[in-house]
Structure 1
């Protein structure tokens, strides 16, 4: 199917951008933010978002090694911190939801590394990137294309 050329409405864009900014602000760690956003985008096969978050990850100091190994993060030792690993596990559980819920042990692992406000912001960040992914994938938005007015 060819790429769709319609634009995302400005009000939807601004609402999602505001939610993204609020979630990021509450976490404060740009490396963690980009790892989470990139991992969800990889799972959702969103080329637009993967492209954008690879660029942002590099700008925010994510190492090339971390980017190279992100898809297999569970198989790595010494590459990702314990909080990053907990956030990535939660990202995968929330993004996939194959059993209709996030496993207790995944949630508890994240809660051990993030206080209640940070955990709420992490869940918001995961939810927002999944929303972006679903919009961009549904619209077949190619990497690098501007999609809002």
Structure 2
């Protein structure tokens, strides 16, 4: 009897383990492709170096669920992006748009490389100090001093 009750309880509680996650159902192939693209464009706010597609964080799972829900409801990609950025800021976008606020992010690396090239060119073009030979009088005097020490 115990075995039967245990089996019934396992059957009841195991149903949740086999339930479809939002990512697995309710989207047609075109919506699924859009969903996959969007979750690879959004940054996990917990991990910060991963997209929400790659992250196992709870917040990333919530964001994936939100994206799925919006796409299933018929929202466009821009509407989903706008919803997420309104809620979490532009930092959530893995590739932020070029705006006045993000210009430094887009232009900064090129400016640093250009600055490095300019510094390297200046260093290469700078006249180098040439070693001048010691005056012969000093050389003769040094020889005499060394000869005196040896005696």
What's the TM-score once normalised by structure 1's chain length? 0.24
Return the index of the structure with the highest Cα Rg.
2
Structure with greater helix percent: 1
What's the TM-score once normalised by structure 2's chain length? 0.24
Greater relative contact order (CA < 8 Å, ≥ 6 in sequence): 1
